Amino acid sequence: MSPKRVDKEVRKKEILHAAMHAMARKGVNVIKIDQIAAAAGIGKGTIYEYFSSKEEIFGAAMAQFLEKIENIQAKKLFRATTPQEKIKAIIDSWVEATNTMAHDDLKLLIDLWAEGIRQSNPELKKIFDMKKIYYEYREIVSAIIRDGINAGVFRDVEVEVVSGIFLASVDGLMIQWLLDKESVDIRKTANTLYDTFMQGIALQRESGNL
Amino acid sequence: MSPKRVDKEVRKKEILHAAMHAMARKGVNVIKIDQIAAAAGIGKGTIYEYFSSKEEIFGAAMAQFLEKIENIQAKKLFRATTPQEKIKAIIDSWVEATNTMAHDDLKLLIDLWAEGIRQSNPELKKIFDMKKIYYEYREIVSAIIRDGINAGVFRDVEVEVVSGIFLASVDGLMIQWLLDKESVDIRKTANTLYDTFMQGIALQRESGNL
Amino acid sequence: MSPKRVDKEVRKKEILHAAMHAMARKGVNVIKIDQIAAAAGIGKGTIYEYFSSKEEIFGAAMAQFLEKIENIQAKKLFRATTPQEKIKAIIDSWVEATNTMAHDDLKLLIDLWAEGIRQSNPELKKIFDMKKIYYEYREIVSAIIRDGINAGVFRDVEVEVVSGIFLASVDGLMIQWLLDKESVDIRKTANTLYDTFMQGIALQRESGNL
Amino acid sequence: MSPKRVDKEVRKKEILHAAMHAMARKGVNVIKIDQIAAAAGIGKGTIYEYFSSKEEIFGAAMAQFLEKIENIQAKKLFRATTPQEKIKAIIDSWVEATNTMAHDDLKLLIDLWAEGIRQSNPELKKIFDMKKIYYEYREIVSAIIRDGINAGVFRDVEVEVVSGIFLASVDGLMIQWLLDKESVDIRKTANTLYDTFMQGIALQRESGNL
DNA sequence: CATGAATGAGTCTTCATTCAT
DNA sequence: GATGAATGAAGACTCATTCAT
């Protein structure tokens, strides 16, 4: 691989980085190629040396964004061993994301959902398929919960359903935080989410009052 | 007598209805006026007899959408008396929404969030302020939970935080359902959400296993 | 002729009247059919019962306007007998026009000139041909001046040229008055124009210092 | 070095030039952006690389037009010393304008007047204020005539009024020429205007025959 | 007759993409 | 390779005209 090649790769990453920021801040449908170019500190035409269309940039930015998020989660999950720790790790991934990434950057999630929901561009499905991603997310959490049930830590809940609910809480909290940073005390919320969810699926001595 | 006025009102509602559908299906930023007109079965210019701009249609559609959702919730909440019933009512509102409204129509939620998060249009803030709406939602749920705590049904949780988490679950589930109708068994999920959440904030005989 | 017929004529005149006002005030290219209808106190569609197109209204309004102006001139000229009186009559027509007609209404002159200069609509040439109108104006004045020369009151000027100059003065003054009512003292200007023009073409005892 | 900048400036001038021609020929309110682009031999979109709106083009074209006219006058006036020469210089400016500039181009005067009279666009008032321009024109001529009076060449006329009349003659002649090139023998008319106006305000041995 | 709701051709303006330098 | 000037397809909006009531 020649140094030129490396340079090209590096430059492409730089553009992608700038594009992701810009898209996240203004919204994918609103951002203009000029703005991405300006944000990347390059000429408008140069972008087309690295990407063939705005759509492709969008796809690449989304993929990169997802990768970032998944990296955070993978890192956290990697260290966790017990089901409880793993649940905690997923919640902490959310905390970490809000710490590591800029508030603006995380707004890209909305566009990711929008794209997944409307699938306006079938091409993008090849790069990232939100339906599939969520299916896999639920599988991961399901495995964790199943482990907990088998270990006698969690009660015998509908695993797939509970997994969806758990992931839903995190997504929903992200929305509230994106809508209003100040309205969500991340640390406190993370702890409470962990506590209530754990208690929610905990084995019960006596069947309660519900 | 004012048959003309009635007609005008009716027609405006029709257009709004069609606009809401079209916007929800394709996305607020993607829909074209021509498409709305076509969906409403009228000429492009006619739209402007009833709305002064695309922006105004957005606002009206968003407001109508919100109203629909809130009506469903209000109706459900109205009948509920105990805190548990009220929590159940909110969950049921979600179920009802997915039953009453078309899958496509509910996609508008994404645009509502997107608008709230990026506030690309300051005018819309006058019509609906997502930040405020969520603040108020949390207040409503907080009151319910507080009642439950006072009644000795719920344990002494961080009320505001838990409220956010609860609403987050519902929103997150909506996302998953919007992404993939088949992946979420609404009825089962609603029940499970109720059970786990109730148990999650229930009073505990002994401080548990966490 | 049935009374209906009369009504139609009357109504047409009313519309024309309103159209003339509106066009003059806002400009022929700027005025909208709706505004004319509103000004006439009738429905938009009704206009098309009396005129077949905006263009036709324009033509009719112009014709009416010209007629008004010409009536004023004709009336003044009618009473005048000597060449001097006739020149004075034409100047007085201008004074009378600024008195009789609204400042706004006289703005139509600009559109008349614009139409004449650009002849954007060949059809209008049939209704009024500015080129011809000015030719005839000059003829009228030329005849007056020629009379004066023959009578030994005016010196032997280039009659056609002087006529053009005289009419030009009046038109140019109208422009200044239209641009800024306050900047032109009509009465004083009329007198001065008469004096200087009369002296300008007067027979001279000695050939002067020029 | 900035060849790019120079090119941009040059191109902008070219567009402006073409725009001025097109606007003058067809009328400011009638000309379409497409036509200007076509006249400039460029694409429609390119116009907007140099001007931000149709309105801005109007303003720039008007300003350039006025500048042209004023340059001609300034040059002529510069060489003139006596009041008579100065009056002649102004008349000659008109002659020069009709020689230098295309018949079509000078039609822009009509739009200038129309704009001044109706002030449909308040923004344009910042660029050129016809009311003010005419006020200043009259001031210039007034100074000349006052000089002539003081020098004992002109009689004691109402200076401001006479100035208006003089300028009116020139404007009015321009209208006639614009309406019909052939109907006005510019050279002869210029001479006659000079003669009659000079005699019109000349000192008189005896108070004459009027 | 009178009306004004409906219409779509026509206009200004934007912006992703191209391409000559 | 990098650039940004040029472009025209596309989109929001206007308005003269039509026509059903």
Residue B45: which CATH number? 1.10.10.60
Nucleotide nearest to A47 (CA to C1'): F2
Q: Are residues C168 and C66 in the same domain?
A: yes
Read off the pLDDT of residues C117-151 as tens digits, 9 standing for 90 and up. Answer: 999 888 888 889 999 999 999 999 999 999 999 99
| Amino acid in position A2 | S
D8 beta carbon to strand F: under 7 Å = yes
Mutate to test the interface with C, among D124, D174, D195, D198 (most CBs of C within 10 A): D195
Question: Given the structure tokens 């009027």, which residue do they identify?
Answer: D210
Residue B78 lies in a domain: yes
Out of D107, D195, D209, the one facing C118 most closely (by C-beta) is: D107
D110/C107 touch (CB, cutoff 8 Å), yes or no: no
Question: Does residue D139 have a pLDDT over 60?
Answer: yes
Q: Compute the mean pLDDT over every residue in chain D, rounded to the nearest whole number.
A: 92
Subunit partners of chain B (3 or more CB pairs within 8 A): A
CA distance A47 to chain B (A): 23
Give the lowest-confidence range in B99-113, D1-15, D104-118, D122-136: D1-15
CA of C54 to C1' of F16 (A): 8
CA of D47 to C1' of F5 (A): 11
pLDDT level of residue C7 (50, 70, 90 thresholds)? confident
Question: Does residue C207 have a pLDDT over 70?
Answer: no
The count of structural domains within chain A is 1
pLDDT over 70 for what percent of chain C?
A: 94
What's the pLDDT at B204?
Answer: 77
Nucleotide nearest to A32 (CA to C1'): E15
What's the pLDDT at B2?
Answer: 40
CA of C18 to C1' of E14 (A): 39
Mutate to test the interface with A, among B175, B183, B185 (most CBs of A within 10 A): B175
A189/B114 touch (CB, cutoff 8 Å), yes or no: no
Out of C30, C171, C179, the one facing D131 most closely (by C-beta) is: C179
Question: Given the structure tokens 């200044």, which residue do they identify?
Answer: C176
Mean pLDDT of D54-63: 94
Residue B16 lies in a domain: yes
Q: How far is CA C208 from CA B13, C145, D162, D188, D206, in A?
A: 84, 21, 20, 20, 12
Q: Are residues B20 and B69 in the same domain?
A: no
CA of B78 to C1' of F16 (A): 53
Residue C187 lies in a domain: yes
Task: Give the integer Cα–Cα distance in Å for A16 and A57.
Answer: 7
Task: Give the integer Cα–Cα distance in Å for A210 and C42.
Answer: 71
Kindly give the parts of chain B with pLDDT less than 70.
1-6, 205-210
Task: Give the integer Cα–Cα distance in Å for C120 and C129.
Answer: 12
Read off the pLDDT of residues D74-94 as tens digits, 9 standing for 90 and up. Answer: 999 999 999 999 999 999 999
C197/D196 touch (CB, cutoff 8 Å), yes or no: yes
Q: How far is CA B165 from CA A192, B140, B169, in A?
A: 8, 13, 6
Task: Give the integer Cα–Cα distance in Å for D93 and D170.
Answer: 10
What's the pLDDT at D121?
Answer: 82
CA of B34 to C1' of F14 (A): 15
Residues of D in contact with C162 (CB under 8 A): 192, 196
Using DSSP's 3-state secondary structure scheme, residue C207 falls into coil
Q: Do chains B and D touch (3 or more CB pairs under 8 A)?
A: no
> CA angle at residue D165 from D161 to D167, to 5 degrees?
115
Mean pLDDT of D174-186: 97
Residue nearest to nucleotide E2 (CA to C1'): C46
Q: Are residues C83 and C46 in the same domain?
A: no
Residue D78 lies in a domain: yes
A203/B189 touch (CB, cutoff 8 Å), yes or no: no
Out of D25, D192, D205, the one facing C162 most closely (by C-beta) is: D192
Mutate to test the interface with C, among D142, D162, D179 (most CBs of C within 10 A): D179
pLDDT over 90 for what percent of chain D?
A: 87
Mean pLDDT of A138-163: 97
Task: Give the integer Cα–Cα distance in Å for A35 and A27.
Answer: 12
A196/B201 touch (CB, cutoff 8 Å), yes or no: yes
Question: Does residue C159 have a pLDDT over 50?
Answer: yes
Residue nearest to nucleotide F2 (CA to C1'): A46
What's the pLDDT at D207?
Answer: 47
Task: Give the integer Cα–Cα distance in Å for D83 and A175.
Answer: 80
Subunit partners of chain A (3 or more CB pairs within 8 A): B
CATH number at residue C135: 1.10.357.10
Out of D157, D170, D206, the one facing C205 most closely (by C-beta) is: D206
Mutate to test the interface with B, among A30, A95, A107, A117 (most CBs of B within 10 A): A117
C176/D167 touch (CB, cutoff 8 Å), yes or no: yes
Report the chain C residue with the minimal C-alpha distance to residue D167: C172
Residues of C in contact with D204 (CB under 8 A): 199
pLDDT over 70 for what percent of chain D?
A: 94
CA of A53 to C1' of F6 (A): 18
Question: Does residue D35 have a pLDDT over 90?
Answer: yes
Q: Which residues, listed in sequence order, are joined to residue C202 by a DSSP beta bridge? A: C154
Q: Are residues B29 and B133 in the same domain?
A: no
What's the pLDDT at D2?
Answer: 39
CA distance A162 to chain B (A): 7
A21 DSSP 8-state letter: H
Question: Given the structure tokens 């739209």, which residue do they identify?
Answer: B47
CA of B67 to C1' of F19 (A): 38
Q: Are residues B38 and B127 in the same domain?
A: no
Read off the pLDDT of residues A53-98 as tens digits, 9 standing for 90 and up. Answer: 999 999 999 999 999 999 999 999 999 999 999 999 999 999 999 9
Residues of A in contact with B168 (CB under 8 A): 168-173, 175-176
Q: Are residues B90 and B170 in the same domain?
A: yes
What is the four-CA torsion angle of D184, D190, D193, D199, rounded to 10 degrees? -150
Given B31, B51, B71, which residue is the final one in a domain? B51
Report the chain B residue with the minimal C-alpha distance to residue A167: B172
Residue D154 lies in a domain: yes
Q: Are residues C25 and C75 in the same domain?
A: no
Higher pLDDT, B5 or A154: A154
Task: Give the integer Cα–Cα distance in Å for D30 and D111.
Answer: 11
Nucleotide nearest to D3 (CA to C1'): E21
Task: Give the integer Cα–Cα distance in Å for D149 and D143.
Answer: 10
Task: Give the integer Cα–Cα distance in Å for D11 and D62.
Answer: 18
Residue B11 lies in a domain: yes
Q: Are residues B86 and B138 in the same domain?
A: yes
Residues of B in contact with A195 (CB under 8 A): 200, 210
Q: Are residues C84 and C34 in the same domain?
A: no
Residue B208 lies in a domain: no
Task: Give the integer Cα–Cα distance in Å for B95 and C11.
Answer: 64
Question: Given the structure tokens 């561009």, which residue do they identify?
Answer: A121
D49 beta carbon to strand F: under 7 Å = yes
Report the chain B residue with the minimal C-alpha distance to residue A111: B114
- Structure tokens that stand for D26 in this block: 């067809």
Q: How far is CA A97 from CA A20, A105, C171, in A?
A: 15, 10, 77
**Range of B35's domain?**
1-51
> CA angle at residue A143 from A140 to A148, to 5 degrees?
130
> Own/partner pairs for B178-185, CB < 8 Å, 24+ apart?
B178/A113, B178/A117, B178/B103, B178/B106, B178/B107, B178/B109, B178/B110, B179/A113, B179/A116, B179/A117, B179/A130, B179/A131, B179/A134, B180/A131, B180/A134, B180/A135, B181/B103, B183/A131, B183/A134, B183/A135, B183/A138, B183/A164, B184/A164, B185/A161
Q: How far is CA B167 from CA B170, B173, D49, D56, D102, in A?
A: 5, 10, 49, 52, 74
Q: Compute the mean pLDDT over every residue in chain A, rounded to the nearest whole number.
A: 92
Residues of C in contact with D169 (CB under 8 A): 165, 168-169, 172
CA of D127 to C1' of F11 (A): 32
pLDDT over 90 for what percent of chain C?
A: 87
Report the chain B residue with the minimal C-alpha distance to residue A25: B118
Compute the radius of gyration of chain B from its Cα atoms: 20
CA distance D57 to chain C (A): 18
Task: Return the number of other C-beta atoms located less than 10 Å from residue B99's C-beta.
Answer: 11
Residue A6 lies in a domain: no
What's the pLDDT at B6?
Answer: 55
Q: How many residues does chain D have?
A: 210
Q: Which residue, among B147, B150, B160, B165, has the nearest Cα to B82 in the 3D structure?
A: B147
